[in-house]
Structure 1
Amino acid sequence: MKAQEAKSRTEEPLHGPSLELPQESLEEIGPVLTDEQKSRIQAMKPMTKEEWDARQSVIRRVMDPETGRVRLIKGDGEVLEEIVSRDRHREINKQATTNDGLTFQMRSGII
C-alpha cells in the first residue's frame, strides 16, 4: 500500500510556479489592444511637424444645424473667412438672420 502511495505521489503534477509554459500560453501573454485603445495611445503621443501640417491643411465646410450657418473650418477648429461678392454676402446675412430668429422663437416656446 505504501508503494502505491509513493508511486501516486511521484505521478502527480507538481503544484506551484513553473518557468516552463506551454506554447499556446506564450502567444496569449502579450497585451491585446482594442482599436479604441490604439487610437487613445495615438492621440496621446506628440505630433511631428509633418503630421501637424497635414492636419492643418484640411479645410472643410461645417453647417450648424440649428442656425443653418455654413463656416469654413481649418484643421482642428480655426474658423476661416470666405471672400464672397456683395450680393452673396447680403443673401448669407438674410438667411442667417431668418434662421437665428426661428431658432430663438423655438427655444423660447413661441413656435
Structure 2
Amino acid sequence: MDSSAKKGLNTLGVLMARIDYAPGGLNPPHTYPRATKMILCLKVNWMRAANVVISKHIMKRENFVFSIGFVYFHKNNGKVPAAVVVGFNSQLPGIHVIASTLFGAMPLVKVV
C-alpha cells in the first residue's frame, strides 16, 4: 500500500486487517475496549466473560460481530490454513490480552 492510500484511511474512524491462522492456530483470549469488531472468516471459536464458553463454527463467507468489551478467542480447528478479515468501528480499538493483562501486571494482581 502506498503512503497516499495509508493517509486516505487515517481519521475515517475504521480499521481493517487480515489474519492468517495455521492449522490449530490460536489467538488467545482478548478484548477491545474501544471498538466493536466484525469478522469474516472460515472457522472461529469464541469465549465470553462470565465463565461461560460458547463454541461456534463460522464457515467461509459467514461473519460475526463481537460487541465492545466482549472477551473471546479464535481458533482454527481445521487441518488447513484459515484466513479472516476483521473490521473495527474505530481506527484505535485498543486491545487487552487477558493473560498478559492479569499475569503480566505490575504491581502483581493478587487474588484475595
TMscore range, shorter length: under 0.3
TM-score, normalisation: structure 1: 0.24
Which structure is richer in relative contact order (CA contacts within 8 A, separation 6 or more)? 2
Q: Name the TM-score, length of structure 2 as normaliser.
A: 0.24
Greater strand share, structure number: 2
